[in-house]
Amino acid sequence: MEKSRGSLLRHLVPDETVRRVEDLDPERLAAEGIAGLILDLDDTLVCAADPLATDGVCEWIESTRAHLKVVILSNNHRRHRVAPVARQLSLPFILRAFKPLRSGFRRALELLELPAEQVAVVGDQVFTDVLGGRRLGARTILVTPLSAHERRWARRLMRRLERTVLSGVQRTRAGGVGPLR
């Protein structure tokens, strides 16, 4: 029982946590062998309530693309939501990704022309971004969601589950599930 709980948690534990994408140093990631990023869009790059990315995110993307290849991978099915942000940031994008399923991640790897072990998946959700990235064999980086308040009840429930999982992870770290950086 303890073993299966540990193996499930292993797939839900990010390799790294940061408050926002701008806190990630692309030079450091490149020095650690990362050559590409698969970025989530909603509440990772852009607040769910905003149509476009902030100036800070635009500047971070500019400095990041000097070191890493970047693609947007979003579960959002609305092209009119995803495409303007991708255009603003001059990034390729995949929408309707059905994360955590592997198919969207594999298409992202093809766009990046990189193997999973040279890629970091960055997102705000444990059950889509982290789980999908771990199953892919990529590095996973969890960011704090940009939206402080979630209006949709299903998403609020998911956030509660994520907090439960992450607090369980903190307790299990001593049992070999970690590390979180």
Out of 15, 26, 40, 86, the only residue in the binding site for Mg ion (CB under 5 A) is: 40
The H or E element that residue 88 is part of is helix 79-89
Does residue 162 bind Mg ion (CB under 5 A)?
Answer: no
Stretch that binds Mg ion, among 18-26, 53-61, 93-101, 116-124 (CB under 5 A): 116-124
Alpha-carbon distance 30 to 5, whole Å?
A: 33
Judged by CB under 5 A, the stretch of 61-69, 101-109, 123-131, 155-163 that binds Mg ion is: 123-131
Closest approach of Mg ion to the CB of residue 52, in Å: 16
- Give Cβ neighbours of residue 8 (< 8 Å, ≥ 6 apart): none
What whole-number distance in Å separates Cα of residue 5 and Cα of residue 24? 30
Point out which span in 17-25, 87-95, 124-132, 147-155 binds Mg ion (CB under 5 A). Answer: 124-132
Q: Which of 24, 29, 43, 131 binds Mg ion (CB under 5 A)?
A: 43
Q: Contact 158/129 with Cβ under 8 angstroms? A: no
Count, residues near Mg ion per rule CB under 5 A: 5
Binding span for Mg ion by CB under 5 A among 41-49, 89-97, 151-159, 165-173: 41-49
- Residue 124 binds Mg ion, judged by CB under 5 A: yes
| Six-digit token string for 45 | 């790059």
Closest separation in Å from C-beta 33 to Mg ion: 25
| Min dist. Cβ of residue 15 to Mg ion (A) | 18
Residue 123 forms beta bridges with which residues?
A: 142
In angstroms, the Cα distances linking 136 to 65, 102, 108, 131 are: 22, 7, 11, 9
Element (H, E) at 72: strand 69-73
Q: Which residues bind to Mg ion, rule: CB under 5 A?
A: 40, 42-44, 124
